Amino acid sequence: MSADVTQSTPPVWSDRKPGVEDIQRLILKRICFLEYTPGDRLKEAELAEEFGVSRTPVRDAISRINHLGLVETINGVGNVVMELPPEKIAQVYEIRLHLATLIGATTPAQIEESHLDRTRDLLQQAHQLGGQVDSRQYVSVNDQLNTLISDLIGNSVLRSFWTQAYYQAASTWHRVVDCAGPEVGDALVAELVDLETAMAEQDIQAVGYVQRIHIGYGYTRIKKYLLKNCDDDVS
Amino acid sequence: MSADVTQSTPPVWSDRKPGVEDIQRLILKRICFLEYTPGDRLKEAELAEEFGVSRTPVRDAISRINHLGLVETINGVGNVVMELPPEKIAQVYEIRLHLATLIGATTPAQIEESHLDRTRDLLQQAHQLGGQVDSRQYVSVNDQLNTLISDLIGNSVLRSFWTQAYYQAASTWHRVVDCAGPEVGDALVAELVDLETAMAEQDIQAVGYVQRIHIGYGYTRIKKYLLKNCDDDVS
DNA sequence: ATTACCGATGGTGCATGCAGCATGGCGAAA
DNA sequence: TTTCGCCATGCTGCATGCACCATCGGTAAT
């Protein structure tokens, strides 16, 4: 298990005790960010000590994310981080493709200037990491992008489903990023460029289809890289 | 709060101690079946005693279903059963309409003879309750129907979303059934007839569209009956 | 040498105690 | 009589203890 994952998550709790909601989000992020990898066993007592709380809220947080299939709780063993089987990944992406088209087909949120600003900021970040695909930074940008898209989904139910599917796909996708070369960085830039255009046009439907397109590309890369061995490390 | 809801749920635990999963499902069913109505406060200690367990697993079960918005946990008050605001109902139904069309558009499950049998059984049950719309029985048939559709969804992610949206819509829908006359019984029969045809044709896509159609009708009835006052009781 | 058993270890599952919060009722003051 | 404030009550949030379970390593028997 990774040594000091604490350092990697900027928002430190040093001052305030985190609630169940915070713990849940943080654990999910750590799984998506590959700070926890399949096979790792999340020990309640360990996390409890790290967060300065008792096992109870940690248990609660883990219990809430069990239904995503990312963590399987086994009595007497631990909370094992699971690798989603390829079949399930296929199902997740199949749904994500459809959900993306629904972003524009359902009651939309209003595109405001702030969203455009955030998009440009992400685009700049994406440019900065350029060929040097430090997966940590890439993942960060990707996560912010997902949050941005979420904010653009007016239908709260769709937003919930979108987020769930994102979490299910994220860890696998980020594993692909490690394997694939800088092409994923270029792809991210391309996606953000398309996104900026769509948002400048105030066209939510276009935003959805941009997502649909690039999720499709992403899944193609998963199939391309994840079936082969991923022997070259990022060191 | 309803007096002895225990009687209404056939599977009694008299022999075996229920797990968190069981408790979760049972609470959800009770909300859908209107045994718990908006405003009721689910008290952990109460449920714990009923199930013969401690508060801990009950807390866990309630915590897991919090994200659906059907119960809101308020410190010092209780776990309040919430009535979804009309706006959220609209969002749920908007998504349900789209999800229905995805049943046939995604990797399907195989339609087997058993499914057809279950459909015919439901049709018979629907006929039996005819004009006498005892909401309890209606809801039971409706719930079995939803389970049946779930089994026909091959994509497990879609199945999960479908179920979540069903739970969110169910309590509201069942409240409409109380208000509306026997027309909902007829509508259910019509839906099951359509469903039987589609399944006899082995046409999953048709199954999805049948759902899409009747969910649409259902939402129309919600708008028709739920905005007006629901003064006539079922006695 | 190999295999079967058993106990030590470390984890989750559940029970329970206690602190904190919200609320309603009662009493005192205006 | 009305209103303000305080306390009793009941519930959730969290901490902690204990029982059960899984696993692994050592030991004894074959």
Answer yes or no: is B79 CB < 7 A from strand D. yes
Residue of B nearest to A105 (CA): B98
Residue type present at position A149: I
Contact residues of A toward B, CB < 8 A: 20, 59-60, 63-64, 66-67, 88, 90-92, 94-95, 98, 102, 105-107, 155-158, 160-161, 164-165, 168
Q: What does the DSSP assignment read for B187-234?
A: HHHHHHHHHHHHHHTT-HHHHHHHHHHHHHHHHHHHHHHHSS------
CA-derived radius of gyration, chain A: 18
Out of A63, A88, A157, name the one closest to residue B60 (CB).
A63
Q: Which residues contact B148 (CB under 8 A, 6 or more apart)?
A: B115, B118, B119, B122
If residue A74 lies in a helix (H) or strand (E), which one and from where to where? Answer: strand A71-74
Per-residue pLDDT of chain B (235 residues; tens, 9 = 90+): 444 444 444 445 556 789 999 999 999 999 999 999 999 999 999 999 999 999 999 999 999 999 999 999 999 999 999 999 999 999 999 999 999 999 999 988 999 999 999 999 999 999 988 766 688 899 999 999 999 999 999 999 999 999 999 999 999 999 998 888 788 999 999 999 999 999 999 999 999 999 999 999 999 999 998 866 554 444 3
The string of pLDDT tens digits covering residues A58-116 is 999 999 999 999 999 999 999 999 999 999 999 999 999 999 999 999 988 899 999 99
In sequence order, what are the beta bridge partners of A74? Answer: A78
Size of interface A-B (CB pairs under 8 A): 73
Q: Are A28 and A143 in contact (CB under 8 A)?
A: no
Residue of B nearest to A87 (CA): B155
Distance, CA of B68 to CA of A141 (rounded, Å): 29
Whether B95 sits inside 8 A of A59 (CB atoms) is no
Q: Are A151 and A196 in contact (CB under 8 A)?
A: no
Helices (H), ranges, chain B: 20-32, 44-51, 55-65, 86-105, 113-129, 135-152, 156-179, 183-200, 204-226
Nucleotides of D under 7 A from a protein CB: 10-17, 20-23
Residue of A nearest to B91 (CA): A155
Ordered by where they begin, the domains of chain B are 5-81 (1.10.10.10), 86-226 (1.20.120.530)
Report the gap between the CA of A134 and the closest CA in chain B (Å).
31
Whether A95 sits inside 8 A of B155 (CB atoms) is yes
